[in-house]
Amino acid sequence: MKIEIIPAIDIIDGKCVRLSQGDYQQKIIYNENPLEIAKMFEAIGLKRLHLVDLDGAKAHHVINHKVLENIALHTSLLIDFGGGLKSDEDLKIAFESGASMVTGGSIAVKSPEIFLRWIEKFGAGKIILGADAKNEMIAVAGWQESTKTDIFSFIKNWHSKGIRKIISTDISRDGMLQGAATELYTKILLEVPDAYLIASGGVSSMADILELQNAGIPAVITGKAIYEGRITMVEIEEFCE
């Protein structure tokens, strides 16, 4: 099975940026116009986009919905949107602005009753669980807070409530270009074999993506490796073909 490559666009002040390990002080601006980047991804055959509102994540409510709307209007990419989704109103804004799916991480830990309501109201197919971990323990609030919940029981709990799509980031690897946490993802799939697990963080080359594919991981998010030319658009286009 061919792994699905999902490019990431992270937004601060309406611009395409990347952080390292979620640190807002380690910010690099890659493009002033996220739509330009999204169109490039579409042109090489990619179908999905992972769009993160980093301002929203900090403010605890959606901020960059106009960027989402612009990309949704001018491309055919299926967009999953995350960052700052804390209320039903935030989800309404996200879906009305063109998101196909939304990702909730901290909310599933801190307000599980709200997250469960979203699953029931919008359908599990539209809700992605964000399961971000440090040393296999779930971390929340922009990765600033560690919890006492291990990633495996966290995923299994939400899987039992209908969730099938999961984005998992090994925080120690995010933005570091040191390879993906293949071992962690393999362990997750052993626990929950039918999950649509999306690996995120650490991807530095096509070799890392192929390693994940060989391990049976269904999908991977990559951002920094593309922006820094470690993975070229030509390589992705050839892979998509």
Residues marked as catalytic = 10, 132
Helices (H), 79-232: 88-96, 106-110, 112-122, 151-159, 182-191, 206-214, 224-227
Euclidean distance between CA atoms 239 and 241, whole angstroms? 5
Euclidean distance between CA atoms 45 and 41, whole angstroms? 7
Q: 154-163: string of b/e by CB count within 10 Å (b at 16+)?
A: bbeebbeeeb
Dihedrals φ, ψ of 129, to 5°? -85, 125
